[in-house]
Amino acid sequence: MVKRCAWGTCNSDSRYQERLVNEVEGTTVTFHHFPTEIRDKERRKTWIRACCRKDGFVCTKDSYVCSLHFVDKKGPTEEYPDPISATASRDTLRLLLGKLCMGWGRFGFKRRLLDFTCGKQKKKFSKLSTWEQFIITLVRLRRKITIETLADLFGISTGSTSRIIITWILFLEKELSFLLHFPTLSELDGIQYPKAFRGIPDLRGIIDCTEFYIETPNRLPSQRSTYSTYKSRNTFKLLVSISPIAHFNFVSNLFSGSISDKEIIRQSGFLDKLQPGDAIMADKGFNIQDLLALRETRLIAPPIMRKGTVSSKASTITRRIAKSPHPCWKSN
Ligand SMILES: [Zn+2]
């Protein structure tokens, strides 16, 4: 039995295997039956509507929609059981997003983005409005929808989509950097700390490193430098810090996964933020007392066990530190 996709203008057809295999992603297109009239009439109607056929299409038991038209391109899932509409083009989305974009003009993003890209944006991506480009970036960050799906939705090429996302991420980094303020002890004075941090004098930052899995790079030197022995995978690593009022006050650049915690502290510029008298809280793995001592700051860390025992004072400190919220728990 020949299986053909009924969605919009899609040409997926089981007779032409070459159309069904994506060698780059290592995936094969699968075909999915329409929900039956008896079991799920409403859903069947939704699927037919999503196909947007104006040529008198009649849905039969041999009608299919291929996996390419579902959000993660693997077919219906519990979260996204229906195919994306074949006319979810820029016009429909613009209408939908237009309702959401109240107050957009007030931010003046459009003008600032043009300044940021020295006017290049206007020529390159003029097909999409600034607001649509912003939405593409947010959707990508929040829902991890593939570049290909976003390109389909907005009717642009995958190359343009990834260029838009990269440009916007760099732009947002510049625009939002003011949020990462590293408050001094005098600025923190008088603010009520969360219970876990009360009674720890001079505490200005709680630090930890977090790692992101990446694909194994092709080049051997890159493989070696990104291999994290802690995670046994290739990763990128960064240092994050929260203030004792539990907001992020420092996020470092990304480093390759093989870097040590101590080295990341040294290279990330975190030490330059410190002032004499500050205290920094960290996990046991951070042997950075010497680096902090040079800045006349001190480290608060769980005591390391010596000869199998810890003193009662040390165990109280350990318990208190263990109770404190940690930046990586927050970020995850
Ligand atoms: Zn299809």
Choose among 204, 180, 178: nearest CA to 191.
Answer: 204
Measured in Å, residue 86 CA sits from the centre of ligand 1 at 10
Question: What does the angle CA 118 – CA 121 – CA 126 come to, to the nearest 5 degrees?
Answer: 145
Measured in Å, residue 43 CA sits from the centre of ligand 1 at 18
Question: Which phi and psi (to 5°) does residue 26 adopt?
Answer: 70, 35
**Residues present in the chain in total:** 332
Measured in Å, residue 96 CA sits from the centre of ligand 1 at 25
Q: Which pLDDT score is estimated for 99?
A: 45
105-136 residue pLDDT tens? 445 555 666 666 655 555 455 577 888 888 88
Report the percentage of the chain scoring pLDDT > 90. 24
209 — pLDDT class (breaks 50, 70, 90): very high
Measured in Å, residue 308 CA sits from the centre of ligand 1 at 64
Residue 306 has pLDDT above 70, yes or no: no
Instruction: Look up residue 297 and give its two tokens.
Output: 């700051």
Q: What is the DSSP string of 212-279?
A: EE-PPPSSHHHHHHHEETTTTEEEEEEEEEE-TTSSEEEEPPPEETT--HHHHHHHTT-GGG--TT-E
Measured in Å, residue 6 CA sits from the centre of ligand 1 at 7
Measured in Å, residue 8 CA sits from the centre of ligand 1 at 8
Identify the DSSP state of 192.
P
Q: What is the DSSP string of 11-58?
A: --BTT-GGGTEETTTTEE--EEEPPPTTT-HHHHHHHHHHHT--S---
- Residues forming a β-bridge with 265: none
- Of the CA atoms within 13 Å of residue 225, those in its CB half-sphere come to 9
Instruction: Tell which wins on pLDDT, 52 or 282.
Output: 282
Report the percentage of the chain scoring pLDDT > 70. 78
Measured in Å, residue 70 CA sits from the centre of ligand 1 at 9
Measured in Å, residue 82 CA sits from the centre of ligand 1 at 13
How much is the mean pLDDT over the chain? 80
Q: Please, what sign has the CA dihedral across residues 57, 58, 62, 63?
A: positive
Identify the DSSP state of 68.
G
Choose among 297, 298, 301: nearest CA to 321.
Answer: 301
pTM beyond 0.85, yes or no? no
Instruction: Look up residue 324 and give its two tokens.
Output: 């404190």
232-267 residue pLDDT tens? 999 999 999 998 888 888 999 999 999 999 999 999
264-277 residue pLDDT tens? 999 999 999 999 99
69, amino acid identity:
H
Instruction: Look up residue 67 and give its two tokens.
Output: 């996996």
Measured in Å, residue 97 CA sits from the centre of ligand 1 at 26
